[in-house]
Amino acid sequence: MVESLARRKATVEVASSGDAGRAAAGWMADQGIVRAVLADDPVVDAIGLEPALRAAGIDVLRWPVAMGRREVLGLEGPEDVCGVTVPTLAVAERGTLVLEASVGHGRGLDVTNRHHVSLLMADRVVETLGEALAQTFADGRPVPSAVSLVSGPSRSSDIEKISTLGAHGALTEHVVIITP
């Protein structure tokens, strides 16, 4: 998984549950991130991310945010905002994160902000895309309104057919793989 993520030009670190909050906050501080928008998810709490971010002097918002569209899109307010997501699954073979929209997890969290940090539980990694999709859309499970398969930060090769980062989605993708 680590190797595939690197191939996708994401950055990745592995941390235990006890260290992950500080590790994520540290990475964000290094990037100059001033505000983080967090998914409302048990994993966020389990690693103590909020207190770690406040300690790093980073403004914390929790989903759902009371913000106009312009601010959500970064046209107003600070530029260096980071969306923090919690994948339901990840695909090791391809370096792909599976993000599901839900009441606590905005579907745009990883794309509307300039930066993206993803908190991936190590036991949620499966080998192939087929497995990930079979589990996501298993019989009897309610179908999510939006599932986003995210493989690396945003890219465009529309200008001279050479891959350039950052056309619309996040410019950075940092994955923290959380081991028990």
Q: For binding to another protein (CB under 8 A), which residues are involved?
A: 8, 63-64, 69-70, 72-75, 94-96, 101-103, 106-108, 111-112, 128-130, 133-134, 136-137, 143-162, 164-170
Cβ atoms within 10 Å, residue 67? 14
Q: Which is nearer to another protein, 19 or 173 (CB)?
A: 173
**Burial grade of 92 (CB within 10 A; 0-12, 13-18, 19 or more):** middle
Q: Which is nearer to another protein, 148 or 176 (CB)?
A: 148
Tell me the closest approach of the beta carbon of residue 131 to another protein, in angstroms: 9
DSSP label of 3: H
Tell me the closest approach of the beta carbon of residue 72 to another protein, in angstroms: 8
Q: Which is nearer to another protein, 21 or 113 (CB)?
A: 113
CA 14 to CA 134: how far, in whole Å? 26
Encoded tokens for 141: 């499970």
Residue written as token pair 């002097």: 57
Tell me the closest approach of the beta carbon of residue 119 to another protein, in angstroms: 19
